[in-house]
């Protein structure tokens, strides 16, 4: 095989559209991640009580990490030649994360709601991992594995906060 044939072959591989299952799973994870971002902001802005500073800072750290990850997910869709969904209404309809009501709530209620939300995002990440594996899309699978790892660590921390409350 000549070097030109090699690069032509590589070009065909890299621009080949991935399966719709991968794209759908990526879109779902993007929507769930965006919904989680909104819930993290809600908790960050409204948490009160003796753990205010600790939780306020933790929620900010989480939403800042997630903001970057959301951009990576959307850009992965574009790399797969799929348009990324956008807009609050569109993303909210695509997500299964429920919104916590605004207003006063015990800090543990914010954390418990975020635990539920993170579990949904982990499930979406795992579904993406499985779809990418089935499609032989190692790059997207790597993205999904990274998201699972980050979210599992955060989930462990949030659940640890709730112990003995």
pLDDT along the chain (165 residues), means of 10: 55 52 96 96 94 95 96 95 91 93 91 97 97 94 97 97 87
pLDDT number for residue 20: 92
Superfamily for the 18-162 domain: Ferritin, core subunit, four-helix bundle (1.20.1260.10)
pLDDT number for residue 164: 80
Q: How far is CA 107 from CA 36, 42, 64, 89, in A?
A: 17, 12, 20, 27
CA distance 97 to 116: 8
Instruction: Write down the domain spans for the chain.
Output: 18-162
pLDDT number for residue 11: 45
DSSP-derived letter for residue 16 is: S
CA distance 138 to 129: 9
pLDDT number for residue 16: 43
């Amino acid at each position: 095989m000549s070097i030109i044939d090699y690069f032509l072959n590589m070009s065909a591989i890299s621009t080949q559209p991935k399966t719709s299952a991968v794209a759908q799973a990526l879109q779902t994870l993007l929507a769930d991640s965006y919904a989680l971002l909104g819930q993290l902001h809600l908790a960050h802005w409204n948490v009160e009580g003796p753990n205010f500073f600790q939780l306020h800072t933790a929620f900010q750290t989480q939403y800042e990490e997630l903001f970057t990850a959301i951009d990576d997910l959307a850009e992965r869709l574009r790399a797969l030649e799929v348009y990324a969904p956008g807009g609050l209404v569109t993303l909210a309809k695509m997500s299964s994360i429920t919104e916590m009501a605004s207003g006063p709530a015990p800090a543990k209620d914010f954390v418990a709601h975020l635990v539920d939300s993170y579990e949904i995002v982990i499930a979406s990440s795992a579904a993406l991992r499985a779809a990418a594996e089935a499609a032989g899309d190692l790059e997207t699978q790597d993205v999904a594995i990274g998201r699972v790892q980050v979210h599992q660590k955060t989930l462990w921390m949030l659940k640890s906060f709730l112990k003995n409350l």
